Structure 1
Amino acid sequence: MRDGTSVASNSEPANEGLRPSPSLGAPSPRERGEAENIVIVGAGIIGICAAAYLAEAGRSVMLIDRTGICEETSSGNAAAFAFSDVLPLAQKGMIRQLPKWLADPLGPLAIPPGYLPKLLPWLIRFWRAGSPRNYEASLAAQASLMKLAEAEWMGLMERSGTRKMLREDGSLELYESEAEFSASLPGWSARGRFGIAFRHVAGGELAELQPGLSPRFVKGTFVPGWKTVADPKLLGKAVWGHAEAHGAKFVQGDVGLVMRSKDQVVVQLRGGRTIMAQHLVVAAGAWSHLLARQLGERIPLETERGYNTTLPRTAFVVKRQLIFSGHGFVITPLDTGLRVGGAVELAGLRRPPNFARSRAMLEKAKQFLPGLDPSGGREWMGFRPSLPDSLPVIGRSQAADNMVYAFGHGHLGLTQAAATGRLIRDLVVGQSPAIDLAPFSPQRF
């Protein structure tokens, strides 16, 4: 059964083609609308965590989203706290596998031919990001953010009463040949340099970690520190409840325009409402670069469209998240079902979803887990906001110090959300950031 997409994929991308209306000028709060301390655009997990941290700090926070709290891309992800996933995508063997993957329209990576010309500048940046001279800097930056992310998530879950939603079962990455396993070893060695624990397994230990696996898998790597959550949508809503208890409020609306007005920010909704703010946080996921463009910055964000199917919990007994890196997808046991999903389709915001990709992953899952019941599933597609160097944008806009960006986390939005919330709070309240933000600067491009 099809369950739709995380956003209406045929709708006009938010903010595109808008220009300031003559009436905006430099309105005062009394003349044009409410005066807010902080407005956050985007109620995905990044915006939710930013709201929680700022509300905890006693700030007046308004969170704006066109659909609701954790209703779009953050609602349907693979539910992982992937704190050990420090390798940028360009440096995880993707460049080497691109020709093979692109030859399969339903494989781990797809690019519609008609979209390739628009995507080419991003792909060139992606290729450059994978060069050896960029490797260590990207790896160190990602590792520092991941270390902060784990500490901040554990603290936020305690404060928000959501620790009971955490699963600490580790993950199991699987290999179908000795050659595939050997190709993974440099990446594991790099992780080991940053203190990430793992062990390679085979035979009986592999079968014990996940009973019922196909014998095609000859080895695996178990990561004990890998964590998942009961359901990402439920977690997001619960963290929002914590922010709301500290005074944060939500407004449903489609942001059409943001602009600076003297020392304030004008936020205009498409329905006509205008809100004045002292600070603006842009956390609108795959639509964020369109808002940044209104502020004079061109940030090379691209949309990775991810697909999944969530099966009933009875489909198969999966003990922990299973990672099929050679096929670009994972299987995650949730409280609300068994989620089979991943892969990458670089196709922008406008194209309709291709749910044949969900079905292709499900077919593979049936081969990998003989006995899996594929019936009763809900198909889904979401937009991952991705930057070519696999690092998010976290920092101030060049337009004004009271405008900050928090987007571009790619596959790691859930994982890095609490760290990003902490860093956004640091920037807004004028504290020294917990880590060096230079690698995440919006101006690095």
Structure 2
Amino acid sequence: MTDISPEQDIAVIGAGIVGICAAAYLAEAGHSVIVFDRTGVCEETSSGNAAAFAFSDVLPLAQKGMVRNLPKWLADPLGPLSVPPLYLPRLLPWLYRFWRAGAPARYEASLAAQAGMMKLAEAEWASLMKRSGTGTMLREDGSLELYESDAAFRLSLPGWDARNRFGISYRHIEREELAELQPGLSPRFFKGTFVPGWKTVADPKLLGKAVWAYAQTLDVRFEKARVQRIGAVTNGALIEFSDGSQRRAPHLVIAAGAWSHRLAADLGERIPLETERGYNTTLPLGAFDVKRQLIFSEHGFVITPLSTGLRVGGAVELAGLDRAPNFARSKAMLEKARRFLPGLDSTGGREWMGYRPSLPDSLPVIGRSAAAPNIIYAFGHGHLGLTQAAATGRLVRDLVEAQSSAVDLSPFSPQRFQRRH
């Protein structure tokens, strides 16, 4: 067994956007950091997301129509939410917790915690982009959410009312105004909601690699390695790799996305993380002139204009980490996109599937392991990993530095599920 070299006092497992933001913040604070990942920097889920800084997306998933629409969606294997029948028994405990998270008191607590996290996320991304020289990759065009009926629009109103309480700006749009915000849109859409504060990035993979380049200027190191298991040792953590080698680190940050709960289990901590598998197709530049991110909530997907193409994707497949991708889901969303944007050139696309790490109350886990205070968890952001990455990096740094946290961390505690159940 070897130690992480004395010059590197913090190890980070996971080189997705959350892990590299944590590494950058820790290096800025004077720590020497090494990041381990089995593939590379932003090569997995962080490479193919919808590119949104969704700072206004404060509603827990349990209150965004998922419970109400669950029976209808499950009846459609290519719809917004899918669960393979053979996986359903394994999923039932998570679904029960998800249903419980929609109870009024828990909903209000999650809503308030998420709103505070989003306020911090917006401020931290603005600051990090300035420090890292990545501000040119930010797009501030807002988003347009679309409804096909008055009933669908009215079902959305409680969510907008909740956003009102946190000062989130939006404007409902009548049918005749939609063409001004998105020319060429199908006339099937009845109304829309424009959110001016919604932001996107030019390409999430390129942004991640640019933040990593900044981290490298602070002497953060990367090592390609597959972590097999972790353990607690005196004054630190033990990391065992798939080749049988071991390292000991004074501090460890677990930011391995959808695989993180398996590492937490090595420490005896059961965290109910489930994998929302998301699909998309990225079309070549010129496929359609989309002005801003378009959100089709009833259908569970978005269309995002990137510097590298046009991304059509989203939806949720609760199917764990081991099943093969079902790219019929990507094709189903692309077919809907052709109907919603007549004239869309849907040829030449590149299909992709990624693993969103999701917890039942829609809040990430950010905090110390109960088994080892020098091990910090930073995972479970669901659809909001890119959005909340800089805030999470700030919070991880504050934990390592034993500083007062910028937000109350109790709603994000790794132990919150043990207390409740």
Q: TM-score, normalised by structure 1?
A: 0.92
Shift of 1:342: 0.1
Aligned positions of 1:262-411 closer than 5 A: 262-411=234-383
Paired with 1:437 and 1:287, the residues of 2 have a C-alpha distance of 22
Paired with 1:56 and 1:140, the residues of 2 have a C-alpha distance of 29
- Work out whether residues 175 and 189 of structure 2, in 8 Å CA contact, stay in contact via their aligned partners in 1: no
Out of 78, 83, 105, the residue aligned to residue 106 of structure 1 is 78
Out of 20, 27, 30, the residue aligned to residue 48 of structure 1 is 20
Is residue 199 of structure 2 the alignment partner of residue 238 of structure 1? no
Q: Give the AA of the match of 2:242.
A: R
Aligned positions of 1:426-445 closer than 5 A: 426-445=398-417
Segment drifting more, 272-281 vs 378-387: 272-281
Q: Give the AA of the match of 2:28.
A: E
Paired with 2:108 and 2:270, the residues of 1 have a C-alpha distance of 26
1:75-104 superposed Cα distances (whole Å, 9 cap, x missing partner)? 000000000000000011111101110110
Structure 1's 228 and 28: CA in aligned 2 closer, same or farther, altered over 3 A?
A: closer
Q: Which stretches in structure 2 are left out of the alignment for 5+ residues?
A: none
CA RMSD of aligned residues (A): 0.9
Paired with 1:131 and 1:264, the residues of 2 have a C-alpha distance of 39
Paired with 2:361 and 2:159, the residues of 1 have a C-alpha distance of 17
Give the secondary structure class of the aligned counterpart of 2:250. Answer: strand
Paired with 1:133 and 1:281, the residues of 2 have a C-alpha distance of 31
Shift of 1:205: 2.0
Give the aligned partner of residue 127 of structure 2.
155
Paired with 2:97 and 2:175, the residues of 1 have a C-alpha distance of 41
- Work out whether residues 274 and 318 of structure 2, in 8 Å CA contact, stay in contact via their aligned partners in 1: yes
Give the aligned partner of residue 167 of structure 1.
139
Shift of 1:132: 1.4
Segment drifting more, 34-43 vs 61-70: 34-43
Shift of 1:28: 6.8
Shift of 1:424: 0.2
Shift of 1:123: 0.3
Give the aligned partner of residue 182 of structure 1.
154
Paired with 1:55 and 1:272, the residues of 2 have a C-alpha distance of 28
Shift of 1:202: 1.3
Out of 80, 91, 98, the residue aligned to residue 63 of structure 2 is 91
Paired with 1:405 and 1:285, the residues of 2 have a C-alpha distance of 10
Aligned positions of 1:65-144 closer than 5 A: 65-144=37-116
Paired with 1:34 and 1:268, the residues of 2 have a C-alpha distance of 16
1:101-133 superposed Cα distances (whole Å, 9 cap, x missing partner)? 011000000000000000000000000001112
Shift of 1:274: 2.2
Q: Give the AA of the match of 2:391.
A: A
Paired with 1:401 and 1:216, the residues of 2 have a C-alpha distance of 55
Paired with 2:334 and 2:245, the residues of 1 have a C-alpha distance of 44
Is residue 168 of structure 2 the alignment partner of residue 202 of structure 1? no
Give the aligned partner of residue 11 of structure 1.
none
Give the aligned partner of residue 10 of structure 1.
none
- Work out whether residues 34 and 276 of structure 1, in 8 Å CA contact, stay in contact via their aligned partners in 2: no
User: Number of residue pairs matched?
Assistant: 416
Q: Give the AA of the match of 2:317.
A: E
Give the secondary structure class of the aligned counterpart of 1:330. Answer: strand
Q: Which stretches in structure 1 are left out of the alignment for 5+ residues?
A: 1-26
Give the aligned partner of residue 391 of structure 2.
419
Paired with 2:413 and 2:46, the residues of 1 have a C-alpha distance of 23
Question: Structure 1 vs Structure 2: percent identity of aligned residues?
Answer: 74
Out of 50, 55, 59, the residue aligned to residue 31 of structure 2 is 59
Paired with 1:269 and 1:34, the residues of 2 have a C-alpha distance of 17
Give the secondary structure class of the aligned counterpart of 1:360. Answer: helix
Give the secondary structure class of the aligned counterpart of 2:176. Answer: helix
1:364-394 superposed Cα distances (whole Å, 9 cap, x missing partner)? 0000000000000000000000000000000
Paired with 1:203 and 1:347, the residues of 2 have a C-alpha distance of 37
Q: Give the AA of the match of 1:287.
A: W
Paired with 2:223 and 2:198, the residues of 1 have a C-alpha distance of 35
Give the aligned partner of residue 221 of structure 2.
249
- Work out whether residues 302 and 313 of structure 2, in 8 Å CA contact, stay in contact via their aligned partners in 1: yes
- Work out whether residues 80 and 229 of structure 1, in 8 Å CA contact, stay in contact via their aligned partners in 2: yes
- Work out whether residues 175 and 192 of structure 2, in 8 Å CA contact, stay in contact via their aligned partners in 1: no
- Work out whether residues 34 and 275 of structure 1, in 8 Å CA contact, stay in contact via their aligned partners in 2: no
Give the aligned partner of residue 226 of structure 1.
198
Paired with 1:343 and 1:257, the residues of 2 have a C-alpha distance of 31
- Work out whether residues 102 and 109 of structure 1, in 8 Å CA contact, stay in contact via their aligned partners in 2: yes
- Work out whether residues 146 and 295 of structure 2, in 8 Å CA contact, stay in contact via their aligned partners in 1: yes
Give the aligned partner of residue 217 of structure 1.
189
